Structure 1
Amino acid sequence: MRIMRSKELPEELRDRIVARHRSGQGYKKMSAALKVPKAGRPAKLSYRGRRALVREVNKNPKITVAELQRCRREMGESCSKSTITAAIHQSGLYGRVARRKPLLSARHMKAHLKDSKMVINKILWSDETKIELFGLNSKRYVWRKPGTAHHLSNTVSTVKHGGGSIMLWGCFSAAGTGRLVAIEGKMNAAKYRDILDINLLQSALGRRFTFQQDNDPKHTAKITKEWLHNNGITVLNWPANSSDLNPIEDLWDIVKRKLRDARPNTLDELKAAIEASWASITPQQCHRLITAMPRRIEAVISAKRIPDQVLSA
C-alpha cells in the first residue's frame, strides 16, 4: 500500500512522509501519525461480509457463487463473483466436483435396518456381475528400474475391447455359496426366469429361505414374479439404491481378487479360474459377510444421523 499520491499533498507534508519513510517507519504508523489515509483501492468486501460468506458456505457446501452474490446484494454489499471466490479461497475452501453417491432417504434406511434384523442366516442373496478378461489386469503395480517401463516383464497384456467378458449370476447364504451360472447371450427376463428355475431351489439345498434380488426390471418382470409365486418363494423387500449394501458385492470382490493372481489369458481360462475361485470360498467367509450386515446398516444410519423418531415410526 502507498500513501496518497504526492501531488495531492502539501510540500511540507510530503517532506515529513519521506523523512519518516527513510527512518524505517511503516505506512500504517505514518498514516495514523500524520492523519493521512493510505492510498489504494478500497476493499470491495468487508471483513464482516467475508465472514458471512464463509458461514454460508459451511452451512450449505452446495451453494453457488451466484447465490452468494445475491445474498450479499440483499445485505447491501454488492461485489463480483471473482471477489466472492477469492474471499472463500482465502478461508481455505475451494470448489470441487461432488462425489456421486446413491441417494438413501430416511425411508430407505429404515427399511434397511428393519430387513437387517430379520433372520439373516435364512436369506439367499443373489446378483449378477460382469468380469472382463483383460480388465482384471489393466492396473497392476510392478517394481522396476527407470527406463524399463516397456520391458515385457513390466507390462500387462491388453487387447481391443478388453478381450471379451463373462456375465455371471450367483447366490449365497450364511451356509455357503450356491450355484454359479455363466450367462450366454443377452440377459432378459425369460433367461433370468430359466436361471432361477434350474438353479435357485438347488442352491438352497432343501433349506427354507427368503430370496434377495435387486429391483432390476428383469427381476421384477411379470414372468419372474409368476415363477416366484408359483414356487412359493418369499422375496425380500429390497429398498431402492441398495446395491452397495448387498453382501454378494463383497463376494464378487473376493472372486476378482483371486482371478488377478490366476491371470487368465483366454475366455476358457477365465471361466475355469472363476469356477475355481467360487469353489474355494468357504462357508466361514460367507457367514462373516452375512453377520456383518446389521453393523454395516447401523453405520450407514449413524453416518446419515437419522432422527430416532424416524426409526421408531
Structure 2
Amino acid sequence: MTRLSEVDRHRALGLLQAGLPISEVSLRMNVNRTTIFRLRQRLNKTDTVSDRPRSGRPRCTTQRQDRNLVRNHVNDRFLSASASSGQIRGRNNQRISANTVRRRLSTSGLRARRPYIGPILTQRHRHQRKLTLWAQEHAAWDRIQWRSVVFSDESRFCIDHADGRVRVWRRSGERYPVDCVREHDRWGRASLMMWGAISYNDRIGPVFFHNRRAINAQTYVQDVLQAHVVPYTAMYGNIVFQQDNARAHTARYTQQFLEQSNVQVLQWPALSPDLNPIEHLWDYLQRRLDCQDHQPQNAEDLENSLGRPWNAIPRHFLQTLVSSMGRRCAAALEAQGGHTHY
C-alpha cells in the first residue's frame, strides 16, 4: 500500500463528501479502508489532514561526542573521516559511519580541501624568515626601496605535466572511460630549465638550459650573471640583485664574481619561494602555455612557447608583483616565519 500525499488526502475526502463509501474510496486510492476511516476521523477532530510534527530519527551521536569529533580533527587536520569514525562510538556504543563524521564536521565549518604544498620549514628556517631578514631589516622598506630590487629565479618546464587545476565533468561510475581520463607522461617528456628576473618596470632574460643536469656555478656565472645581470646593473646602477640559496648561487666562485663585479646582493632566507614575487610569474607562464592551441612537441618548441609570453608580460603585472613585497613581509611576520598565503 502506498502512503497518501496531502493532495490525495483531500481527494479522498472529496470522494467521501460525494457520497462514495469508504470501501470504494480505498479501492480507488489503493490504500487500506482503515486509512480512509482514520483520515475522516482526523479531519473531524483536528480540522486538518496535514502530518503532525514528529521528532525525527534520533541522532546517533551526542553533542559531547560531536565536540570530540571536531576537536580531534582540529588537532590533526589530516585525520580522515573513516579513521575518525572507528575511534568514536555513538549513542549506546553503536558504530558511526564516515558520512556521519563528515556531516558533523561540515556543520562546524570544517570542509575537506586540497592542502597547500609547501617546503619543509624547520625552526631555524622560520627564525630566519621572521627575524633575520624581514623583521629586522626589510619589514620597514617602502615601495621606492623595493623598486630597486631585481628578483630572479629558475623554474623547470615540461612538455607534459599534471595540472591539479584541471577538472572533468562526468557521471557516477565514469572515472575510467577514455574521454574522462587525462593522460600524461610521469616523466614529463622533454623539459628545460628557464632563468628569468624581473624588476618594477622591466624584465631580464630569459635564459634557457636544455641540459637536464643541475646548473653549476660556472654556467650560472657565464650564461646568467655575466651576460645579463652585470650589464643591467651597470646600465641602471643602484640595483639590488635577489637570488635564492641554490648551490650554484651560493658557491664561492659565484660569490667572488658578484663581489668583483660590484653587484649588491639581497640576503635571502632559505626555503622562501612564497616571498619571491617572480614565483607567480612562473604560474602565469604555465597557464599561457596550457592555453595554446598547439602544444609544443620538443624542447625547441617549448622554448619558443615560453619566450613569447615572457616578452609580452604586461608592465602593470610586474609592478603589481613587486608592490606586493610589503604585504609579503607583513604576512611572514604574522605567520611567525611560517607559510603564508603567497
Q: Normalising by structure 1, what TM-score?
A: 0.62
State the AA in 1 paired with 2:138.
D
What does residue 134 of structure 2 align with?
A: 112
What does residue 165 of structure 1 align with?
A: 191
269-278 or 113-122, larger mean C-alpha shift: 113-122
Contact 1:179 1:203 in 2 (8 A): no
1:199 aligns with 2:231: no
Distance change >3 Å, CA 182–CA 145, structure 1 → 2: same
State the AA in 1 paired with 2:134.
H
Which whole-Å deviations, capped at 9, do the CAs of 1:253-282 have from their partners, x for residues lacking one? 111111111232332221111000101102
1:188 aligns with 2:220: no
State the AA in 1 paired with 2:75.
P
Contact 2:155 2:195 in 1 (8 A): yes
Which whole-Å deviations, capped at 9, do the CAs of 1:89-141 have from their partners, x for residues lacking one? 999699x9x97644252442132243254300000111110000111768744
What does residue 35 of structure 2 align with?
A: none
State the AA in 2 paired with 1:274.
L
Distance change >3 Å, CA 288–CA 205, structure 1 → 2: farther
- Count of residue pairs brought into register by the alignment: 238
Contact 1:178 1:204 in 2 (8 A): no
Q: How does 1:30-179 map to 2 (within 5 A)?
A: 61=75, 85-86=87-88, 101=118, 102-103=120-121, 104-110=125-131, 111-113=133-135, 114-118=137-141, 119-135=145-161, 140-141=166-167, 149-151=177-179, 158-159=184-185, 161-179=187-205
Unaligned ranges ≥5, structure 1: 1-47, 63-81, 307-313
State the AA in 2 paired with 1:259.
L
Which whole-Å deviations, capped at 9, do the CAs of 1:5-61 have from their partners, x for residues lacking one? xxxxxxxxxxxxxxxxxxxxxxxxxxxxxxxxxxxxxxxxxxx9x9xx999979x93
Distance 2:279 2:326 in 1: 16
| The one of 269, 273, 276 aligned to 1:246 | 276
Contact 1:112 1:239 in 2 (8 A): no
Contact 2:139 2:330 in 1 (8 A): no
Distance change >3 Å, CA 302–CA 223, structure 1 → 2: same
What does residue 40 of structure 1 align with?
A: none
1:298 aligns with 2:330: yes
The CA RMSD measured in Å over matched residues stands at: 4.3
Contact 1:131 1:167 in 2 (8 A): yes
Distance 1:136 1:305 in 2: 30
Distance 2:165 2:233 in 1: 37
State the AA in 1 paired with 2:153.
D
State the AA in 2 paired with 1:164.
A
Q: Give the superposition deviation at 1:205.
A: 7.0
State the AA in 1 paired with 2:318.
C
Distance 2:70 2:290 in 1: 48
Indicate the percent of aligned positions where both proteins have the same amino acid.
25
What does residue 226 of structure 1 align with?
A: 256
Contact 1:177 1:283 in 2 (8 A): no
State the AA in 1 paired with 2:291.
D
SS of equivalent to 1:281: coil
State the AA in 1 paired with 2:300.
D
SS of equivalent to 2:291: helix
SS of equivalent to 1:163: coil
Q: How does 1:232-271 map to 2 (within 5 A)?
A: 232-262=262-292, 263-271=295-303
Q: Give the superposition deviation at 1:251.
A: 1.0
What does residue 283 of structure 1 align with?
A: 315
Distance 1:191 1:108 in 2: 29
Contact 2:161 2:185 in 1 (8 A): no
Distance 2:69 2:171 in 1: 48
224-233 or 189-198, larger mean C-alpha shift: 189-198
SS of equivalent to 2:235: coil
